[in-house]
């Protein structure tokens, strides 16, 4: 592997960050869309989560199919789809059109996030894989944070349609760069070529460790996206200025990077994946109680610090899951399929949790009830961790 080739992993990781911007780009303009399109909280929650619908339906199949079609081709197709869907955002004038284009953005986001780990596996130095996966694992936190930090500032000068148009052009530019620069090494073998699409799907679905990892990741992402996605609305409900709310939420999202980067380094130095994931879930559960149950008794700086800790320490989970998924895959050519199953179950949770949370808050008129959802998810994640490492101890890193 040449130094020139290894540098290209930065373009892959950066494209993941850009794709995650699309997940977060809607949250800052939810208050605007509520006025323009007359959205209620449940519809806003559905719009937030609809980007995950493609993953919920197709992630495993696309992950299996991408190895046959080509990882690079699928990765570039994801960028092109994201770009075109965002460019078309200028035509959004109704709830239906918002949902329609949000769904297609989800297809692009899915293609990027399920092929990127397999591409990184091909082009990165094996000794640096845990560190690289730690960096990759920060894509959601950094991308969503960039969206929430920059979009409220840009809205002072541009409409949200202009911002989405610019993001579309940026995606198409990334697609052109990756097309020219990225050259994947060939890994053909008799065993690999004999694997059919259906055999990869069946092999992945029947592989218990990957199913456990999918449940763990879903328990993390569902509560993280729910809390982060509704923070601007929670802050506005507390009479905090719109722009200040966006900045505060962005910093919470960006703090997630601390955990993801730390996870890569800690795995590299021998800390077990089990300890890292359980630490993440216990911390998220505790901080949710501080945020939502004891918020009336604590000053705002303490509440805000709890949200930062929730996101930062929770960041240990995604980097660890992505790193060990590469090792738990049932076959070298089932890596993208394994990531696909992890993303599919995760996307299901991210699809249903925000609208359900919005309905719960609308019905009870109390934001603190979100804590019961996040607590249940943390307990589910911890249970899946115990089952995974009890049944498959030889895979512990």
Please check whether residue 395 lies inside any domain of the structure: no
Please check whether residue 266 lies inside any domain of the structure: yes
Give the phi and the psi of residue 39 in degrees, each rounded to 5. -80, 140
H/E stretch holding 343: helix 335-364
Rounded Cα gap, residues 329 and 1, in angstroms:
23
Q: What is the average per-residue pLDDT within 333-361?
A: 83
Q: At what angle do helices 208-237 and 41-49 cross, to 10 degrees?
A: 140
CA-wise closest residue to 340 among 117, 171, 121, 80? 117
Answer whether residue 355 shows pLDDT above 90.
no
Tally of structural domains, the chain = 1
Q: Which residue has the higher pLDDT, 239 or 309?
A: 309
Q: Which of 15-19, 280-284, 343-347, 371-375 tops mean pLDDT?
A: 280-284
Q: What is the average per-residue pLDDT within 289-317?
A: 87
Answer whether residue 396 shows pLDDT above 50.
no
Q: How confident is the model at residue 33 (pLDDT cuts 50, 70, 90)?
A: confident
Question: Tell me, what's the pLDDT at 17?
Answer: 92
The overall pTM is greater than 0.95: no
Please check whether residue 394 lies inside any domain of the structure: no
Answer whether residue 291 shows pLDDT above 90.
no
Please check whether residue 222 lies inside any domain of the structure: yes
CATH number at residue 282: 1.20.1250.20
Please check whether residue 397 lies inside any domain of the structure: no
- Within 8 A by CB and 6+ apart from 260, the residues are 134, 135, 137, 138, 141, 315, 316, 318, 319
Answer whether residue 94 shows pLDDT above 70.
yes
Rounded Cα gap, residues 341 and 205, in angstroms:
8
Q: What is the average per-residue pLDDT within 129-141?
A: 81
Rounded Cα gap, residues 184 and 36, in angstroms:
46
Answer whether residue 186 shows pLDDT above 80.
no
- Within 8 A by CB and 6+ apart from 135, the residues are 13, 260, 261, 264
Q: How confident is the model at residue 278 (pLDDT cuts 50, 70, 90)?
A: very high
CA-wise closest residue to 84 among 59, 107, 51? 107
53, 106 in Cβ contact below 8 A? yes
Please check whether residue 190 lies inside any domain of the structure: no
Question: Tell me, what's the pLDDT at 244?
Answer: 79
Please check whether residue 282 lies inside any domain of the structure: yes
Output DSSP code: residue 238: T
Please check whether residue 106 lies inside any domain of the structure: yes
User: Range of 293's domain?
Assistant: 3-181+195-388
Q: Which residue has the higher pLDDT, 233 or 69?
A: 69
């Amino acid at each position: 592997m040449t130094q020139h080739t290894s540098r290209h992993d930065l373009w892959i990781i950066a494209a993941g960050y850009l794709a995650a911007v699309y997940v977060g780009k809607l949250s800052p303009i939810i208050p605007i869309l509520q006025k323009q399109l007359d959205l209620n909280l449940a519809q806003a929650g559905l719009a937030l989560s609809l980007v995950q619908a493609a993953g919920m339906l197709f992630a495993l199949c696309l992950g299996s199919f991408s190895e046959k079609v080509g990882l690079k081709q699928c990765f570039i197709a994801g960028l092109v789809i994201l770009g075109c869907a965002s460019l078309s955002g200028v035509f959004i004038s109704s709830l239906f059109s918002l949902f329609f284009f949000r769904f297609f953005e989800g297809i692009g986001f899915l293609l990027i996030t399920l092929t990127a780990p397999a591409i990184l596996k091909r082009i990165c130095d094996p000794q640096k894989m845990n560190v690289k996966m730690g960096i990759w694992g920060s894509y959601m936190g950094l991308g969503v944070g960039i969206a929430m930090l920059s979009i409220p500032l840009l809205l002072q000068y541009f409409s949200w349609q202009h911002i989405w148009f610019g993001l579309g052009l940026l995606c198409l530019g990334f697609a052109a760069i990756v097309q020219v620069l990225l050259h994947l090494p060939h890994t053909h073998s008799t065993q690999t070529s004999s694997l059919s699409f259906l055999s990869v799907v069946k092999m992945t679905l029947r592989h218990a460790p990957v199913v456990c990892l999918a449940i763990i990741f879903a328990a993390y992402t569902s509560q993280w996206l729910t809390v982060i996605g509704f923070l601007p609305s929670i802050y506005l409900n507390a009479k905090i200025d719109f722009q200040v709310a966006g900045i505060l939420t962005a910093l919470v999202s960006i703090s997630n990077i601390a955990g993801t980067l730390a996870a890569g380094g800690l795995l590299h130095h021998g800390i077990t994946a089990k300890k890292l994931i359980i630490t993440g879930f216990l911390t998220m559960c505790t901080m949710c109680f501080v945020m939502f149950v004891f918020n009336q008794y604590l000053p705002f700086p303490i509440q805000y610090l709890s949200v930062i800790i929730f996101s930062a320490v929770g960041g240990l989970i995604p980097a660890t899951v992505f790193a060990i998924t590469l090792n738990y895959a049932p076959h070298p050519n089932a890596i993208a399929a394994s990531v696909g199953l992890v993303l599919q179950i995760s996307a299901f949770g991210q699809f249903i949790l925000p609208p359900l949370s919005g309905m719960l808050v609308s019905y009870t008129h109390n934001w603190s009830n979100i804590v019961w959802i996040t607590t249940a998810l943390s307990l589910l994640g911890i249970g899946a961790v115990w089952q995974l490492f009890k049944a498959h101890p030889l895979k512990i890193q």
